[in-house]
Amino acid sequence: MGEADSVRDGKARKAARLIDVARLANVSRATAARALGGYGIVTQDTQRKVAEAAQALDYRVNDLARSMRSGKTLTIGVVVADISNSFTLNSIRGIIDASASAGYQSLVLNTDGDVQREKDAVRVLREKRVDGLLVVPASRLDVDHLAGGRGHGAPVVLFDRFIDDPPLDSVITADFEASRAAINLFADHGHRRIGLLLGTAAHHGHQASEPPDTVSAVRERARGAMAGFADAGLAMNSAWVRYAGSVAPTALAAARHLLAQSPRPTAILAGNEEMLLGALAAAEEIDLTIGQDLSLIGFDDAPWLAVFRPSLSVVQRPTYELGRQAVSLLLSKVGGNRRSGSIILPSTLVNRASVARIDP
């Protein structure tokens, strides 16, 4: 569109109105509103004519006016604990794609696993009148701020983690079963000295015992590992267990601690990406060869794993699908579905080259 087309007699051309679109499409104003707003019954032919008329007139839907009429802002709030890791990035991609397909925008806020920042994020998003909230909860116990979605306020769906009270709907992966399968794989390959590196934002150092407010995903992985030890008839050695803050320096310190034990573990299950990187770095410091001197299994198939040699065995979780399913469940709540709809997605143990077979 040239300057001569957009200016007449020194005045900017007026923005097109809904009635202008309706006249050009030869439909009523109400029909044009339904076609552009995505509600009510409109035939495909009418939908096409209205869309073409809106494009020809460069018409822009007034989202504020539409939200006032419908009571919806067509936005969802997303609160994540750590936006930097590959699990979160892939899940957010699933959330954004699924939201866009349904005509919604996503507002993403990061808390770094801090409960107060999570409370602030939830408050801000509710003030912005989001239609629903997806939350990766930073705490299993301090959750009163999430209960506002039960019966009043924007509905809340949790993803990657769950809480027991209040029993909010969640979309999670089968962490217990995956962790159990990983320990069984180690045991089947002859390992008897198996270590655990479990990352948790509830703790800033590293220790053998579980911190008091460990989130559900970490607890489920720990429980699954214990079940795997029981399957193999093994006793868990507390010297080979570390709960560590999910940051690189702490993960490295925890891994160093495990590998300094005498005897040291011959295999380690790393509970998240940071723990896996910590184990790799600690092993390199003392010249241990992965897949020979030390066996490793990690959680989540991060993109950087494709270039690591030897190829690392992982628990592969459907992170993109987790995001999509979370949006689907949330929008069903936005639409008035009050039934419980928690979902557990299966995880897959992928055995590559980082688990050595040893003589027991």
Q: Are 270 and 298 in contact (CB under 8 A)?
A: yes
Question: What pLDDT shows up at residue 36?
Answer: 80
* 240-263 confidence digits (pLDDT tens): 999 999 889 999 999 999 999 999
So what's the pLDDT on residue 8?
Answer: 39
**Are 184 and 275 within one domain?**
yes
Residue 198's φ and ψ, nearest 5 degrees, are: -115, 115
- Give the Cβ contact number of residue 63 at 10 Å: 12
**pLDDT for the residue 202:** 61
Q: Widest CA span of the chain, in angstroms?
A: 90
Based on the domain organization, do 256 and 135 belong to the same domain? no
Instruction: Give the domain CATH number at 41.
Output: 1.10.260.40
CATH of the domain at 165: 3.40.50.2300
Range of the domain at 273: 175-318
Report which of 51, 57, 13, 56 is spatially closest to residue 32, judged by C-alpha positions. Answer: 51
Tens digits of per-residue pLDDT, 281-297?
999 999 999 999 999 99
pLDDT, the chain, mean: 89
Instruction: Evaluate whether residue 360 is within a structural domain.
Output: no
314 and 331, same domain (yes or no): no
In a domain, 209, yes or no: yes
Q: Flag residues of the chain having pLDDT under 50.
A: 1-12, 64, 68, 150-152
Statement to judge: residues 330 and 300 lie in one domain? no
- Total structural domains within the chain: 3
Residues 289 and 181 grouped into a single domain: yes
Looking at the structure, tell me whether residues 179 and 268 fall in a common domain.
yes
Q: What 3 state SS string does 123-159 have?
A: HHHHHCCCCEEEECCCCCCCCHHHHHHCCCCCCEEEE
23 and 124 share a domain? no
| Token pair in block for residue 190 | 């002859």
Q: Which of 267, 276, 257, 174 is nearest to 223 (CA)?
A: 174
Report the pLDDT value the prediction gives residue 15, as an integer from 0 to 100: 78
CA separation for the pair 266, 72 (Å, rounded) = 55
Strand order in the sheet with 241-244: 206-207, 241-244, 194-199, 267-270, 295-299, 313-316, 348-350
- Look at residue 47 in the predicted model and tell me its pLDDT: 86
Please tell me whether residues 48 and 87 are part of one structural domain.
Answer: no
162 & 99 share domain = yes
The Cβ of residue 233 has, within 10 Å, a number of other Cβ atoms equal to 8
Judgement on whether residues 43 and 53 belong to the same structural domain of the protein: yes
Q: How would you classify the pairing of strands 267-270 and 194-199? A: parallel
Structure confidence at residue 299 (pLDDT): 96
pLDDT at 7: 37
Q: Is 352 part of any domain?
A: no
Shared domain for 196 and 238, answered yes or no, is: yes
Q: What is the pLDDT of residue 265?
A: 97
63 assigned to some structural domain: no
The per-residue pLDDT for range 126-175, each reduced to its tens digit, is 999 999 999 999 999 999 999 865 444 789 999 999 998 888 999 999 99
Let me know whether 309 and 330 are in one domain: no
